[in-house]
Structure 1
Amino acid sequence: MTGGKYIHVVYFLVCMVIVGICLYRFPLLLRGEQVAFSNVSGFATLYGVGFAIIETFRARAASQEAKAAASEASRKIVKLHQVKDVAKCQMLIQEELQDLEGSKILSMARITKILELYTAEFSDKYEDETSAQRINIAALQSHSVFSGAKPLSIRAANDLRKTLMKMLADLSTAATRKLAEESR
């Protein structure tokens, strides 16, 4: 109904044909000024009611289209925020990897944010204790608990580097998947 550009013109013509048929078949409808005026007013009222009904349906269809468009826009915004969070987590992991090359001291604030963003991204897999993402989270948590503010041993730094690289790969895959879904 929203696409019916000429629906009111068609409706008007149909009403005029009906009025013409009624006046042709019942010429008494125009007998006298008062009778003619009341009958013309009645036809105009019926036309107005029909016009209002058509507009109601058109407004309903337009509001449903607007609702669908708003839902789609909202979904896209949520996806973009998720991609932004993935990118932020990737950046934090890369910074942590750079720090591991030098001082081998973990930034607890950064590790906490990595855990928060990574867990949010893979929340569905977090419940499965055998998932690679859950294992990565557990490994990163254990590194952060045992390292504190002291430098990591070479073995611990290498293990942490492997864990962070796995997490980075998971996040890259997730970001690629989200962007591919968005482009469809």
Structure 2
Amino acid sequence: MRRFFGAHGGEDHSQIQYLTAKCNRLAHDKAALDRELLLAGGRERKLRGELEAAAAGLRLREQINAELRVREEQLVGKIHQQQDLVGRLQQRLLLLAEASSRDGELLRQVGAELLCLQSSEAKLEGLVEELHAEAQRKAATAESLQAELHAEARRRAGLMESLQAEQRRQDHSSSSLIV
């Protein structure tokens, strides 16, 4: 009987040593995976923070664009008012010219006002065009940033899923080896 237990005792002991080494290696692998999971969680939180910051930036840009559109509408309204004023001033100029040729000085003053108004109208039109171009540039930038953020979030989600799947496989294989 001693021979039986003696012969199998050595095998059991070497199998126990093998299983112990394997368990130690699996525990080490699990610890490494746990560290990677913690690091991935930190990266995910950082990415979420960056995503939230970018989203806040996009909201701010949208607000700025809305303000620029309101300002553009106001400027267009002012241009129309000034165009109406220019039209009325031109009518007044014609009436004054017909009414009296003696009032040459008055006619020169009205002409100067017209030139000033036309100059300011041209400046306002240029400003409206600049505001419109800026709004379009900001909208294009916002769309580009949003597309980049979505792509990065999808890539990070895929990475997180693959890490979790790898950990589940490791956990499953380590539990089946222990059994």
* Same-fold call, TM cutoff 0.5: no
Relative to the length of structure 1, the TM-score reads 0.42
| Structure label with greater radius of gyration | 2
Between 1 and 2, higher relative CO (CA 8 Å, sep ≥ 6) is seen in 2
Structure with more helix by fraction: 2
